[in-house]
Amino acid sequence: MGPHPAVAAIRLAVRRVLHDVLTDLTDSRTAGGPPPLVLVACSGGADSMALASALAFEAPKLGIRAGGVTVDHGLQPGSDLRAAEVVTRMTALRLDPVESVAVRVGRDGGPEAAARDARYGALDEAADRLGAAAVLLGHTRDDQAETVLLGLARGSGIRSLSGMAEVSGGPGRTHRYRRPFLQIDRQTARKACMVQSLPVWDDPHNIDPAYTRSRLRHEGLPALEKALGKGVVEALARTAQLSRDDADALDSWAAEAEAGVRDEDGRLECAKLYALPPAVRRRVLRRAVVAAGSPAGSLFARHIEEVDRLITGWRGQGAINLPGRVEAQRQGGRLVIRQG
C-alpha cells in the first residue's frame, strides 16, 4: 500500500524540483566532488514541515544531502525556544546540517517586508556558508493567490500579478530559491503533516489582523470564495502563471528594444521611445532608471509614469526626482537619466 495521497503529492513535487536542481548542476559539478546540499527553510508550520519531511525522504534517493535552516525573527517572547524546537524536529527527520539563525528585524517598508528582508538575508548567508545548491521554500498555492491579490491592490502591473516564481534568487544566485508547493494547496500540506504525525506550530502572526496578509487570508479570500465560488484560489494561481509568462515576454522585448532607442552616444532618443508600445517603453525606462542607480525595490509604477510623461506629455516640465538621488530630464530630444 502506497503513501497517503497528500504525502505522495508533496513528495512528487519535491522530487521534481530536486531533479531540476541536479540538471542545473550537471554542467558546473566537478566529477567526484561531494554530493550537493539542498536546504529547507523551515518555520515549524505545516507547509514547511511537510516540505522538510518530503525533502528528507526524497533527497537520499537522488544522492543529495538534505539540511535545514530555521530563522528566529525575535519578534515574540520565547522565539529562541521555538527555533530550538524546530531544529530538534528537523534533526528527527534526519536532516543534516540543521541550524537556527537569529536575525534582527528592522523597520523599513513595514513589519512584514522588514521580516521578509531579514529572513532572506539570513537564508542567503546560511546557503553561502554551507555551500548549498538550493534552498526550498514552503509557499503553497494559497500563498500564491494571496500574493496576486496583494499585487492587484497595489495596482503596479502584470509583474506584480505574476506572484512568486517557482525559481528565484539574487545576483549570481538566480536559481537559489525553489518553491515546490506552488501547485499544492495549504490543506494538502497540513494533511501530509497530520498523517505522518508531524508536530506543527501555527505562527500567531498568521492570524493577527494587524498584518495585511493575515487579514486577506482570514477575511478577504473567504469572502471572495463565498461570492465567487471555491475555485478562486486556483484561478488566482493560474493568473499568476499567465501574468508571469506575459511579463517575461515583455521584459525580453524591452531588453531587445533598448539598444534601438539609443543614439551613437548611448543616450535615449525620445522620438524612438515614443514609437514603442507603452508596456515596452515603460520597461525600457525602468531598466534605464535602475541602471542609473535607483533601487529597484523603491521604484514604483507612479515613478515610471512620471518619467514616461517626459516622452508622451512633453510640455517643458522640469527634472523628475527618483529614488536613489536619480533624476530624469528631457534635453533636446534626448532623455537624460543620471544620479545627482
Q: What's the per-residue H, E or C state across 193-229?
A: HHHCCCCCCCCHHHHCCCCHHHHHHHHHHHHHHHHHC
**How far does CA 90 lie from the centroid of its chain?**
24
Q: Which residue has the cell 489582523?
A: 209
Residues 63-113: tens digit of each pLDDT: 999 999 999 886 677 788 999 999 999 999 999 999 999 888 877 667 777
Q: What is the pLDDT of residue 86?
A: 95
Specify the DSSP class assigned to residue 30: P
Q: What is the largest CA-CA distance in the chain?
A: 75
pLDDT at 155: 75
Q: Minimal CA–CA distance to 143: which of 184, 175, 113? A: 184
Per-residue pLDDT band at 207 (split at 50, 70, 90): low
Phi, psi (rounded to 5 degrees) for 229:
110, 170
Indicate whether 171 pLDDT > 80: no
Mean pLDDT of 204-233: 85
Tell me what pLDDT residue 299 has.
86
| More confident call, 151 vs 64 | 64
Q: Pick the more confident residue, 167 or 299.
A: 167
- For the residues 248-255, what does the mean pLDDT come to? 96
Q: 297 falls in which pLDDT band (50, 70, 90)?
A: confident
Where residue 153 falls among pLDDT bands split at 50, 70, 90? confident
Among the ranges given (77-81, 152-156, 206-210, 228-232), the one the predictor scored with the smallest mean pLDDT: 206-210
Return the minimum-mean-pLDDT range out of 116-125, 189-198, 249-258. 116-125
Q: Note the pLDDT of residue 159.
A: 86
Confidence check: pLDDT of 21 > 70 = yes
pLDDT at residue 235 greater than cutoff 90: yes
pLDDT at 257 over 80: yes
Higher pLDDT, 256 or 104: 256
Given this model, what pLDDT does residue 169 score?
Answer: 86
Give the percent of the chain with pLDDT over 90.
74
Range list of H helices, the chain: 5-25, 46-58, 79-92, 111-130, 141-154, 158-161, 186-195, 212-215, 221-228, 232-260, 270-274, 278-291, 301-312
Is 90 exceeded by the pLDDT of residue 31? no
The answer to whether residues 84 and 93 touch, using CB atoms and an 8 Å cutoff, is no
pLDDT of residue 170: 75
- Looking only at the bridges linking them, the beta strands covering 65-72 and 98-102 are parallel
Q: Is the pLDDT score of 206 beyond 70?
A: no
Whether 52 has a pLDDT exceeding 90, the answer reads yes
CA distances for 288 relative to 49, 251, 282, 318, angstroms? 42, 13, 10, 18
Q: What is the mean pLDDT of the chain?
A: 91
- Residue in this structure with the C-alpha cell 508622451, named with its chain if needed: 312
Mean pLDDT of 196-225: 84
Q: What is the pLDDT of residue 174?
A: 80
pLDDT at residue 56, as a whole number: 98
